[in-house]
Amino acid sequence: MHHDTTPRTLLIDTDTASDDAVALIMALRSPTVQVVAITIVAGNVSVEQGARNALFTAELCGSMVPVHIGASKPLLRELETAEWFHGLDGLSDHGYAPAHRTAETTHAVGAILAASHSHAGLEVITLGPLTNLAMALLRDPSLATRISRCVIMGGNPCCEGNVTPAAEFNIWVDPEAARIVFASGLPIQMIGWQLSRDEAVLDAKDIARVLALGTPLAEFAIRCNSTAASAFETQTGEQGISLPDPIAMAVLLEPALSLEASSHHVQIEVVSSLTRGMTVVDRLNVTSDQRNASVWASNNQAASKVEICWKLDVAGWKALLERSLQ
């Protein structure tokens, strides 16, 4: 296999809870990317707890990647967390805490902008609400031109949400930030919540196979998701561990795992309480029809084209996960 001499550089923005931690392991253990920074946003847990969880995970991987604390709440709204899903500490309350490492003093927004200047072709993946990235774009809109690829774990382009019938959690928590990011001109690839359901869920056999690897990483990956597994079953009736953030990371690391994708205008609803945070996807390109244009424009927001992944190579995703945890 041909390897470029310079590995791809990656910045990870995360509200580190249980599935985020597994995604971090995949990136930190990957030979194909160099993680230049991890920036923390409030979402699943408080920003301070998210930083502790990222530092613990980095320690577990033997990584000294800098961790930067960012926004402690959404741009305009109060923070709504997901402890009910991930446990009070976000890692299912087993007492995981970093032994040595601490966060940097630079704010996440400064770190994102600095990384975009010092690493040509920087890739970004967001695993939480989009507050940090929106703040960075507000400070410097040209940031969008310096990022070569932006993978967003968020939204539900085809189907029901997981926090309201209309919305997925990461977009719902800070819809104003999502609106800014989605209209920024960033080269976005959207990995929606629906891709982590059904066959993509780790079932009992998959979990047994991961645990049989016998490594501290494998054990942690399963154990830190123990609360999430029961919450997911309560929510969907599906048994197993659903891992939206690691699936987004898998597609970032191995783009061929996205089997079907297409690009569409996407807008984010911010006004309605019923559909707050909904990712409205123009699949039929009706907005190019002049008769419909006024309706769409009355929302008074630009819509960038976003590449949406509709189908995942499930066997490939699970194989990559197992390789990462060996």
Q: Is residue 62 situated within a structural domain?
A: yes
Residue ranges of the chain whose pLDDT lies below 50? none
Calpha distance 200→228 (Å, rounded)? 15
Calpha distance 172→314 (Å, rounded)? 26
Q: What's the pLDDT score for residue 290? A: 72
DSSP letter, residue 241: B
Would you say 101 and 58 are in contact if contact means Cβ atoms under 8 Å apart? yes
Q: Is residue 90 situated within a structural domain?
A: yes
pLDDT in tens, 186-214: 999 999 999 999 999 999 999 999 999 99
Q: What's the pLDDT score for residue 212? A: 98
Q: Is residue 2 situated within a structural domain?
A: no
- Collect all residues with Cβ–Cβ distance below 8 Å to 298 and sequence separation of at least 6: none
Q: What's the pLDDT score for residue 303? A: 67
Would you say 116 and 147 are in contact if contact means Cβ atoms under 8 Å apart? yes
Q: Across all residues in the chain, what is the average pLDDT? A: 94
- Sole residue written with tokens 């920074």: 37
Q: Is residue 3 situated within a structural domain?
A: no
Q: What's the pLDDT score for residue 45? A: 98
Residue 199 sits in a domain of what CATH number?
A: 3.90.245.10
Q: Is residue 118 situated within a structural domain?
A: yes
The domain in which residue 107 lies consists of 8-324
Would you say 106 and 113 are in contact if contact means Cβ atoms under 8 Å apart? no
Q: Is residue 12 situated within a structural domain?
A: yes
**Amino acid at residue number 177:** A
Calpha distance 140→154 (Å, rounded)? 23
Sign of CA dihedral 7, 13, 19, 21: positive
Q: What's the pLDDT score for residue 12? A: 99
Q: What's the pLDDT score for residue 7? A: 84
Calpha distance 84→173 (Å, rounded)? 15
Which residue from 250, 228, 264, 266 is spatially nearest to 312, judged by alpha carbons? 250
Number of domains in the chain: 1
Mind telling me the catalytic residues?
Answer: 15
